[in-house]
Copies of this chain bind each other. A is one copy, B any other.
Amino acid sequence: MTEPLIELRDITFTYPGAARPVFQDFNFQLLPGKHLGLVGPNGSGKTTMLHLIMGLLRPQAGKVVIFGREVSKERNFVEVRRQVGLLFQNADDQLFCPTVLEDVAFGPLNQGKSPAEAVGIARMTMLQLGLEGFEDRVTYKLSGGEKKLVSLATVLAMQPKILLLDEPTTGLDDQTRRRLIRILKDLEISYLIVSHEHEFLEHTVKECCHVHSTFCETLPITPGGVGL
């Protein structure tokens, strides 16, 4: 049996002050090489789950196991964040540097790369996403679709082994959406996509995981309706 890349074991999580837990003894696995969709109604805890994986939230009980190693301390999560990239739902939350190049190079710099190396990686990632020529554009003034692609570049520049995408298509027009599908198809790493858009998932993943508060049911995706 192959070892899962990401595993959540018997996780219980309640937001401070909330009446009931989002997850109760929740289990989840992402196997190597898999492209998985994550679906579920609003408030079912999809975003919460991604934040638990990244260590932005900590479970009250249960284990987060990444690449076979249990992580629980901030120190360990720092390591996790080098290898797992998260694309936030809102691109505005992800971009804070004045220019695109600075923003894309921010991650590599934090990983200890020299400025020259970081700029090199940033340029390469942007080339890969078809963003050449954007280096000196002001991130704040990009259009919604451009912001989304640049956010993706900032995450990919960290050369993650796993990519988590939180509703990557909200507010995007059809053209940008198609471009995103092409980019995701070309990626060689495992990824997990949260999305309410069935059509987008059909193009990008083979299986969908339905999130409930205690478990997560994986079903193959079927055209015309998420299997269930």
For the residues of A in contact with B, the DSSP-based class is loop
A114 to B176 CA separation, bound complex (whole angstroms):
49
Which residues of the other chain, B, contact A170 by a CB distance below 8 angstroms? 170-171
Closest B-chain residue to A41, C-beta based?
Answer: B173
Q: Are A43 and B143 in contact (CB under 8 A)?
A: yes
Copies of this chain assembled into the complex: 2
A101 to B43 CA separation, bound complex (whole angstroms):
23
Task: Determine if A160 is an interface residue (Cβ-Cβ < 8 Å).
Answer: no
A22 to B41 CA separation, bound complex (whole angstroms):
36
Which residues of the other chain, B, contact A42 by a CB distance below 8 angstroms? 143-145, 171-176
What are the interface flags for A4-44 relative to B under an 8 Å C-beta threshold, 1 for contact and 0 otherwise?
00000000000000000000000000000000000001110
Q: Are A173 and B196 in contact (CB under 8 A)?
A: yes
Which residues of the other chain, B, contact A172 by a CB distance below 8 angstroms? 42, 196
- Chain A, range 124-143, C-beta contacts under 8 Å to B: 143
A145 to B41 CA separation, bound complex (whole angstroms):
10
Give the A interface residue count (CB, 8 A).
Answer: 15
Lowest 9 A-B CB distances belong to which pairs? A42-B173, A41-B173, A42-B144, A43-B143, A42-B145, A42-B143, A41-B175, A42-B174, A170-B171
Which residues of the other chain, B, contact A174 by a CB distance below 8 angstroms? 41-42
A167 to B172 CA separation, bound complex (whole angstroms):
12
